[in-house]
């Protein structure tokens, strides 16, 4: 089996060299901007994971964040159904790729997946609530790697079959993320205003981003903040507080209770909430 984190560590010098070659080939002014961008990435990026409201409620209740394998194991224990059947039902068309990738690596079924984030809503196509992990949590991780894109796209780019060659060439240690990001975006940095740099990390359509794979237990203490789209926040606020005489469905009642728990925790200082327009 492959050791993702050992491979990432071996690529450190290569990532350094690619960055240096890319910057030195630029005109002086562009090279200065690229170097500034690299420093900005190093100082401002955190790891984010997009999750649903009920997951935040679980964190507030002391239940750690679970990846798909950990979740399926619990569901199998509770329901008596086979874990693999649960995974197939949940992942649908992504089942084969996800299982092939995770099972190709040591401890792959313990992998957690996030993205580099510098102030936005993360990969909102997956879920509206963006949990941003604290720098102390991220910096303390021993097993963590950065990739210039979706690991499944990278590994299944060759005729749709699993091939780890491209991943072995591109993955790097988290400590070198700023050099990787700068090298990958070198042609766009100078033409992008500084206030738009965060979109060089995650595009508005979430198709271009830098994936972070790590092993670690995520609890409430691991969070820096939770970012919520303004439209989602307003919709939930109205559902919870705008009309106390409104008749809610059972599903809506569950959402409201989770949202109220989040608001209460925010007011009590247990969690930081940022509403993003």
Each domain of the chain, given as residue ranges in start order, spans: 4-67+111-228
* Chain center to CA of 133: 9
> 112 — phi, psi (to 5°)?
-115, 145
Measured CA to CA, the distance from residue 183 to residue 34 in angstroms comes to 9
Indicate if the pLDDT at residue 84 is higher than 90: yes
Contact of 66 with 74, CB cutoff 8 Å: yes
- Count CA atoms within 13 Å of residue 10 on its CB side: 9
What confidence score (pLDDT) does residue 246 get? 86
What element of type H or E holds 11? none
> 213 — phi, psi (to 5°)?
-115, 130
Query: pLDDT tens for residues 165-199?
Result: 999 999 999 999 999 999 999 999 999 999 999 99
CA distances for 240 relative to 59, 148, 236, 259, 262, angstroms = 20, 40, 6, 8, 12
Query: pLDDT tens for residues 242-273?
Result: 988 889 999 999 999 999 999 999 999 999 99
């Amino acid at each position: 089996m492959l050791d993702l984190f050992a491979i990432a560590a071996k690529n450190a010098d290569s990532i350094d060299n690619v960055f240096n070659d890319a910057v030195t080939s630029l005109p002086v002014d562009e090279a200065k901007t690229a170097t500034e961008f690299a420093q900005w990435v190093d100082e401002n990026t955190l790891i984010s994971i997009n999750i649903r409201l009920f997951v935040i409620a679980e964190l507030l209740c002391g239940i750690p964040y679970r990846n798909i394998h950990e979740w399926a194991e619990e569901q199998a224990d509770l329901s008596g159904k086979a874990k693999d059947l649960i995974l197939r039902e949940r992942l649908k068309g992504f089942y084969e790729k996800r299982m092939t990738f995770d099972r190709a690596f040591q401890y792959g079924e313990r992998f957690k997946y996030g993205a580099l984030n510098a102030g936005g809503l993360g990969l909102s196509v997956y879920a509206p609530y963006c949990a941003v992990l604290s720098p102390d949590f991220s910096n303390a991780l021993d097993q963590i790697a950065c990739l210039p894109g979706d690991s499944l796209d990278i590994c299944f780019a060759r005729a749709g079959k699993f091939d780890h060659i491209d991943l072995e060439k591109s993955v790097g240690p988290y400590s070198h993320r700023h050099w990787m990001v700068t090298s990958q975006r070198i042609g766009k940095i100078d033409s992008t205003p500084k206030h738009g740099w965060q979109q060089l990390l995650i595009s508005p359509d979430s198709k271009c981003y830098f994936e972070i794979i790590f092993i670690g237990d995520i609890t409430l203490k691991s969070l820096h903040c939770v970012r919520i789209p303004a439209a989602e926040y307003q919709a939930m606020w109205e559902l919870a507080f705008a009309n106390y005489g409104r008749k809610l469905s059972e599903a809506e009642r569950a959402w409201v209770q989770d949202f109220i728990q989040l608001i209460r925790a925010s007011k009590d200082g247990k969690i930081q909430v940022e509403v993003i327009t």
